[in-house]
């Protein structure tokens, strides 16, 4: 769901579905133009990945649209999945994540230990308040401290 800088497919070494070129990819699925089966890659029987490689600078509008909500609801019902994880862009960069919040039950923030500050996390928490639950924060790329914790 990070339409501005899609990278999950590449990070997982997955090929994107045929037809994911311009006006395709997950944007096509979320707008209702293509079916779920055409856009999800199944690397394992119990795992489906929305492998997208098509950047879309109108992501907030797409993620806020009624067709997007209907596509996500249909995906969850027809797949029988109990849990779906959505990789969204950085909360403070664009409105994309906020536009998608009505579709989620909770958020797990991933913090970049080399760039994220306490002020950034506080701003994210403030932005999410009243929209959804914050499950917690994962610190990624942590730097080893030379100072002992005790």
Please give the Cα distance from 92 to 111 (Å, whole number): 12
In a domain, 114, yes or no: no
* pLDDT (average), residues 65-89: 89
Is residue 149 pLDDT above 60, yes or no? yes
Q: How many domains does the chain have?
A: 1
- Bridge partner residues of 136 (DSSP): 108
Question: Could you report the per-residue pLDDT of 44-68, keeping only the tens digit for each?
Answer: 888 888 878 878 888 888 888 889 9
Cα 22 to chain centroid, rounded: 20
Helices (H), the chain: 8-12, 25-30, 36-39, 59-64, 66-79, 96-100, 118-128
Question: Could you report the per-residue pLDDT of 23-48, keeping only the tens digit for each?
Answer: 467 888 888 888 888 888 888 888 88
The predicted structure's pLDDT at residue 33: 86
In a domain, 19, yes or no: yes
C-beta separation of 110 from 138 below 8 A: yes
In a domain, 135, yes or no: no
* pLDDT (average), residues 124-145: 89
Is residue 91 pLDDT above 60, yes or no? yes
Range of the structural domain that residue 63 is part of:
1-84
In a domain, 150, yes or no: no
Please give the Cα distance from 31 to 142 (Å, whole number): 38
In a domain, 145, yes or no: no
In a domain, 49, yes or no: yes
In a domain, 18, yes or no: yes
Map residue 47 onto helix, strand or coil: strand
In a domain, 119, yes or no: no
What confidence category does residue 120 fall into, taking pLDDT thresholds of 50, 70 and 90?
Answer: very high
């Amino acid at each position: 769901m990070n339409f501005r800088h899609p990278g999950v497919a590449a990070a997982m070494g997955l090929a994107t579905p045929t037809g994911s070129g311009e006006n395709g990819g997950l944007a096509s699925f979320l707008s209702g133009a293509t079916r779920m089966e055409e856009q999800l890659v199944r690397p394992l029987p119990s795992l489906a990945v929305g492998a997208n490689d098509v950047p879309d600078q109108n992501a907030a509008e797409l993620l806020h649209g009624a067709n997007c909500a209907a596509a996500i609801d249909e995906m969850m019902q027809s797949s029988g999945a109990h849990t779906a994880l959505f990789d969204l862009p950085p909360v403070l960069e664009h409105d994309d994540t906020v536009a998608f919040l009505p579709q989620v039950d909770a958020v797990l923030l991933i913090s970049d230990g080399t760039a994220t500050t306490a002020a950034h996390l506080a701003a994210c928490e403030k932005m999410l308040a009243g929209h959804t639950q914050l499950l917690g924060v994962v610190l990624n790329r942590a730097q080893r401290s030379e100072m002992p914790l005790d």
